[in-house]
């Protein structure tokens, strides 16, 4: 019953996470960090990487031990596995990207309670073999990353006129009275942007809440 | 310490730095449970309750066990031990354990409150507002009483936001919203407006 590693079924698992059941716009999970870390593209990218790694790896680990976890204490087991992975990410960031780790502040730690991780563990890894769980985690992580990167790009360009720290809005604009939109770097801008992105994504994919 | 300092901290954590509208913490349950006012009030109360208990507990764990030199009270040999890399895993364990204890206590001593809070109590363990508040206390080096006030203020701020959102969404039932915008989309836009409103409190000091 060996199945090709990237059979159509497995590709669908990956694709579902990115588009059809995108964790942010469809499952409504993981919104907290999507809004908080996206004032700059750089932090958004680091956070996306961290979350994708944690989701995929915790899915694999939980899927490997899924038959040995007593159901009453499964939340604690899941939290322990996830925290261990998050500590790894946090220590790596502190060692190699200290400034980004400072900017992300508490939000690296908050990957532990990120609903995407817990949601995928509960909904997928508890009932599926490791490779499928890995793909599911990867897909959902990428779907989350896509939304984060879009919000990050828009907020950084309009909020501070830069992209990855480089100025992209020409100085002549400023000379003619162009002003950076301060609201973009503040909390309300993030809410508005995500609202609009959800609107666009759902209008294209045709999903709507009753 | 003078009471004004604590009052300022409370105002700051409820309004200016509202944990939901300025730091986006606890957004998932905020969206999921703001459809009805009753559930919003239940969850809001539960969050206030758990946060007041959890933030000082996490403060104690950090200052007596994990911070550099914190184990000094146990033995002088341990005064150079730094366990702060264990903060995430210990905080989440403390929070999960505390929610469990609170659930048992409430069930035993206040059955009416227990049935009102219902399934929300256990779910709070994975609400990122609680862990977020605990991590802020660690990051900002609050004292014990500051952490109590911050926990209370943060909880009240969160409850305030979710209850007002539930009230707004009740009114929304009568409006004609474009289909793809219904639910999450419109809630996000409204939260943006609310967040804008809460920002007006910035700069208030007593």
Tokens of A81: 């596995």
Q: Is B83 on the interface with A (CB under 8 A)?
A: no
Q: Looking at chain A from residue 137 to 196, which residues have their Cβ under 8 Å from any Cβ of chain B?
A: 183, 186-192, 194-196
DSSP B139-189: HHT--HHHHHHHHHHHHHHHHHHHHHHHHHHHHHTTS---GGGTTHHHHHH
Q: Is B140 on the interface with A (CB under 8 A)?
A: no
Tokens of B106: 């409430």
Beta bridge mates, A56: none
The reported pLDDT for the residue numbered A3 is 61
The residue behind tokens 């341990």 is B78
**Three-state SS for A167?**
strand
The contacts of residue B17 (CB under 8 Å, 6+ apart) are: B23
**Most confident segment among A192-201, B97-106, B115-124:** A192-201
Tokens of A142: 């990428």
pLDDT higher than 70, residue B18 = yes
Residue A110 vs residues A36, A78, B91: alpha-carbon distances, Å: 11, 15, 11
CA distance A58 to A120: 9
Tokens of B198: 């809460």
- Name the pTM for this structure: 0.84
| Between B130 and A205, the higher pLDDT residue | B130
Tokens of A82: 């996830």
Measure the N-to-C terminal CA separation of chain A; round to a whole number of Å.
Answer: 41
Share of residues in chain B with pLDDT > 90 (%) = 13
pLDDT higher than 50, residue A160 = yes
Q: Given an 8 Å threshold on Cβ–Cβ distance, is A114 in contact with B179?
A: no
Shortest distance, CA A73 to any CA of chain B (angstroms) = 11
Judge whether A150 and A38 are in contact, CB under 8 Å.
no
ipTM: 0.81
Q: What angle do CA B111, B114, B120 make, to 5 degrees?
A: 170
The contacts of residue B76 (CB under 8 Å, 6+ apart) are: none
Q: Which tens digits make up the pLDDT trace of A44-92?
A: 999 999 999 999 999 999 999 988 888 777 778 888 899 999 999 999 9
The full 3-state SS of B114-134, as one line of letters, equals HHHHCCHHHHHHHCHHHHHHH
Q: Which of A50, A199, A205, A207 to mutate to test the interface with B (most CBs of B within 10 A)?
A: A199
Q: Which tens digits make up the pLDDT trace of A102-127?
A: 888 788 888 888 888 888 888 888 88
Using alpha carbons, select from B151, B188, B205 the residue that is nearest to residue A193.
B188
pLDDT higher than 70, residue A1 = no
């Amino acid at each position: 019953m060996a199945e090709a590693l990237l059979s159509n079924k497995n590709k669908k698992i990956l694709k579902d996470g990115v588009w059809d059941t995108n964790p942010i716009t469809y499952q409504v999970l993981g919104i907290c960090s999507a809004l908080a870390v996206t004032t700059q593209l750089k932090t958004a990218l680091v956070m996306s990487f961290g979350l994708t790694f944690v989701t995929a790896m915790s899915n694999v680990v939980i899927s490997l031990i899924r038959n040995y976890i007593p159901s009453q204490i499964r939340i604690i087991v899941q939290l322990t596995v996830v925290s261990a992975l998050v500590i790894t990410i946090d220590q790596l960031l502190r060692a190699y990207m200290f400034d980004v780790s400072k900017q992300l502040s508490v939000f690296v730690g908050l990957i532990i309670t990120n609903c995407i991780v817990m949601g995928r563990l509960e909904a997928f890894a508890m009932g599926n073999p490791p490779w499928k769980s890995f793909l599911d985690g990867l897909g959902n992580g990428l779907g989350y990353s896509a939304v984060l990167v879009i919000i990050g790009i828009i907020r950084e360009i309009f909020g501070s006129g830069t992209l990855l720290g480089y100025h992209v809005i020409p100085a002549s604009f400023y000379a003619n009275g162009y002003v950076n939109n301060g609201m973009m770097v503040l909390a309300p801008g993030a809410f508005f942007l995500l609202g609009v992105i959800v609107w666009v994504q759902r209008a294209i994919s045709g999903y709507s809440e009753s | 310490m003078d009471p004004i300092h604590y009052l300022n901290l409370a105002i700051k954590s409820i309004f200016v730095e509202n944990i939901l509208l300025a730091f986006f913490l606890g957004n998932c349950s905020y969206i999921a449970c703001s459809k009805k006012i009753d559930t919003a009030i239940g969850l809001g109360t539960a969050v206030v309750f758990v946060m007041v208990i959890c933030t000082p507990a996490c403060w104690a764990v950090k200052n007596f066990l994990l911070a550099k030199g914190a184990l000094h009270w146990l033995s002088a040999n341990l005064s150079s031990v730094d366990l702060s890399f264990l903060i995430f895993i210990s905080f989440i364990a403390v929070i999960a354990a505390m929610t469990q204890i609170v659930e048992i206590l409430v069930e035993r001593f206040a059955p009416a409150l227990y049935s009102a809070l219902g399934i929300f109590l256990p779910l709070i363990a994975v609400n990122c507002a609680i862990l977020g508040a605990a991590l802020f206390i660690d990051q900002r080096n609050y004292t014990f009483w500051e952490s109590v006030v911050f926990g209370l203020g943060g909880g009240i701020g969160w409850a305030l936001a979710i209850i007002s959102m539930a009230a707004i969404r009740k009114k929304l039932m009568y409006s004609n919203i474009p289909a793809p915008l219904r639910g999450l989309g419109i809630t996000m836009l409204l939260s943006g407006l609310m967040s804008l409103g809460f920002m007006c409190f910035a700069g208030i000091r007593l």
